[in-house]
Amino acid sequence: MSMKGYALPFAAALIVFMAGFLLLDMVVMNLQGLSLIFHG
Amino acid sequence: MIGARPATIRQACVTAGISLSLVALVLTLADTAAFAAYGPAPKLTAADYPAIAGINSRVAVWIFAQLHLWFAAFVLAVPIFVLIIEAIGMRTRDKRYDDMAYEFIKVTITAYSLTAIQGGLLVFSLVLFYPDLFTYLSTIFGQSMFYYALLFFAESAALYIYYYGWHWLQGGFRKWLHLTLGLILNAVGTTLMLLANAWLTFMMSPAGVDAAGIFSGDEWAAIHNFLWNPINIHRFVANIAYGGSIVGAYAAFKFLTATSHQERAHYDWMGYNANFIAICALLPLPFAGYYLAAEIYAYSQQMGITLMGGIFAWLFIIQAVLIGTLFLSANYYLWCGMGRSDGAKRYTKYIKYIAIVLIAAFLVWFTPHTLVLTNEELKALGGPHHKILGPLGIMPAKNTAVNVMILFTALSFMFYRRANKIAVVSWVNAGNAIQVALYTAGIANIMLLGIYHGYFTNTVYKVAASIPQVLTTLVIIAASITLDSFIYRGAGKVGPLRWGRIPGRAQYALFLLAVAFTWLMGLMGYIRSGIRQHWHVVDIMRDASPDAFTPTLGYAANVVSVATILFMAMVIFVFWIAQISGNNTLPAGYWKE
């Protein structure tokens, strides 16, 4: 598989999805009155 | 079929007879209740519990209640997906769907009579062994019990017209009429389940009564108690998964006893659809269960701690083993089923990796937190927790494991769906790369939430992080199915699917699915009921019977296992009845010409 045909879409999608999931985590934790990062 | 009808009509008469008896009983009790002023919940003594020599009241009620629940779950669930399959058949005009839906409903007819019989036995044993409890409950739920009995008539009528009218109501408007009957059947069946759920959840989280148990007169308040909806959701989803597994076992039974390739192909297709239904409902089931457990905690910390941190915690280890069994057997069936397509060889190389991940997640899922050890073992280990494996015993590890198991089951299913397709879109490589990125990012997120919030924060964060974990899983499944539908738009086929080309051992995976589901429901049902401990109605009405104690886990597991064997024996009877209903004997020379 070529770099252009597979690796680039994979890297781009991975960044987008990771950002998306982190955003989801942040929103859901905020809705519960918490932050994503724990401050002891 | 003709030979089967008188038998089924007799079953209908049995069902109607039991319904009449129940109506009479409830009318009498409701009538008594209506004229009595609402008093406090009775304070009972051991003398208030009639006994029959040689019969343990609790075990009798326990087994009848459990058998009734299994059959009820089955007969309520099957019409739901029968209606959907029939609608698919109507929409696609593929008669195979209509025939399959008919065969599914045929199996439930005998089971329906058994449900009514078990329900009758349960009511009579409650009246006989726990008369004060039954009177107290019927004082509060008199109206709903009365309508329950009437609805049972409606359910029977709808079911019998739906079944017997199947071939009569075919084509055009008649088919719509038949579907409407199916809809009515399901609406009535679901209402029956909701009413029965209200009675049992009232015993766990009573409402509409004061601290002494004096009923306010508002029956809706008693029905709409704190745990009613969590149980409703959990049971609705679980019933569908259970119904799918039982008809899957029926299809497996028919596959193994089939004498022609055509028959094997038909029952292979039926088994695949049943397994598909079971998996679809199985995937959201852990979340429904988690929601129910969280609500139990929210209602009563004491019940919550008894549930998973107290005596019943070890049954959850057995539960974990059984749930793992469900996932492994469902996946195994899918992998075997890939052999139906010549294109499956492109994906078989990935199966071993899925199996490794599933087994690893399964091991984490059932790793106990605190071990049962002798003094010597405790000394050797340095405490009740294993140094390396101990951290896997807490909920964040288990939540992570179950989400991973669900995702890899979805992955198995994706490979199965792809096995016979050839994508024709120009961006197939990019599409596959996006799929891999989706799963990679999602699983990384689930692991991050599980490890970071599970081990480096406090309990509030641990519990809160389970929600984005669940949502991540749901997002991955939804996005993956959507993306695949675009990748395989206008896809070609490798070849015709060879239904019937599946090893016999795959059918045993379907049997395993049905047995594991049954046993699991029995054990978890016991826990749900057992967390009331020495209360008939929590904090309101105390159990003063000689059996008002929590039995050992071994004893409870034995009772549930005996009930499971009884139920499976009756299910085999149901399959056999369905089998002989299709047999015709033409005795030469027996009848006059």
| Token pair belonging to B584 | 């015709």
Q: What is the pLDDT of residues B512-529, one digit of tens each?
A: 999 999 999 999 999 999
Residue A37 in any domain: the answer is: no
Q: How far apart (Å, rounded) are the C-alpha atoms in residues B80 and B411?
A: 26
Give the chain B residue nearest A39 (alpha carbons).
B457
Tokens representing residue B133 in the block: 């409890």
The structural domain count of chain A equals 1
- Which residues in B have their CB inside 8 Å of a CB on A? 429-430, 432-434, 436-438, 440-442, 444-445, 449, 452-453, 456-458, 460-461, 464-465, 467-468, 471-472, 475
Selection from A33, A5, A14 nearest residue B460 by Cα: A33
CB-CB contact of B234 with B197 (8 Å): no
Domain-located, residue A35:
no
Q: Please tell me the distance in Å from A39's CA to the nearest CA on chain B.
A: 8
Q: What angle do CA A19, A20, A23 make, to 5 degrees?
A: 85
What is the DSSP code string of B353-415? Answer: HHHHHHHHHHHHHT--SS----HHHHHHHTSSS-TTTGGGGSHHHHHHHHHHHHHHHHHHHHH
In a domain, A4, yes or no: yes
Helices (H), chain A: 8-31
Instruction: Show which residues on chain A lie within 8 Å of chain B, measured between beta carbons.
Output: 1-2, 5-7, 9-14, 16-18, 20-22, 24-25, 28-29, 32, 34, 38, 40
Q: Kindly determine whether residue B464 and residue A29, on different chains, have CB atoms separated by under 8 Å.
A: yes
pLDDT for B17 equals 57
Residue A39 counted as domain residue: no
- Residues of chain A positioned with their CB less than 8 A from the CB of B452: 38
ipTM of the complex: 0.95
Residue A38 lies in a domain: no
Tokens encoding B170: 């075919």
pLDDT tens column, B115-143: 999 999 999 999 999 999 999 999 999 99
CA-CA distance, B452 to B491, in Å (whole number)? 42
pLDDT of residue B388: 84
pLDDT digits (tens, 9 = 90+) for B350-386: 999 999 999 999 999 989 888 888 899 889 888 888 8
Chain A environment of B457 (Cβ under 8 Å): 38
Residue ranges in chain A modelled with pLDDT below 50: none
Q: Which residues of chain B have pLDDT under 70?
A: 1-36
> What pTM, to 2 d.p., does this model score?
0.85
User: Is A40 inside any structural domain?
Assistant: no
| DSSP sequence for B429-458 | HHHHHHHHHHHHHHHHHHHHIIIIIHHSS-
The residue segments making up the domain with residue A1 are 1-29
pLDDT digits (tens, 9 = 90+) for B54-81: 999 999 999 999 999 999 999 999 999 9
Look at residues B333, B328, B329 and name the one whose alpha carbon lies nearest to residue B268: B333
Of B215, B274, B320, B217, nearest to B78 by C-alpha is B274
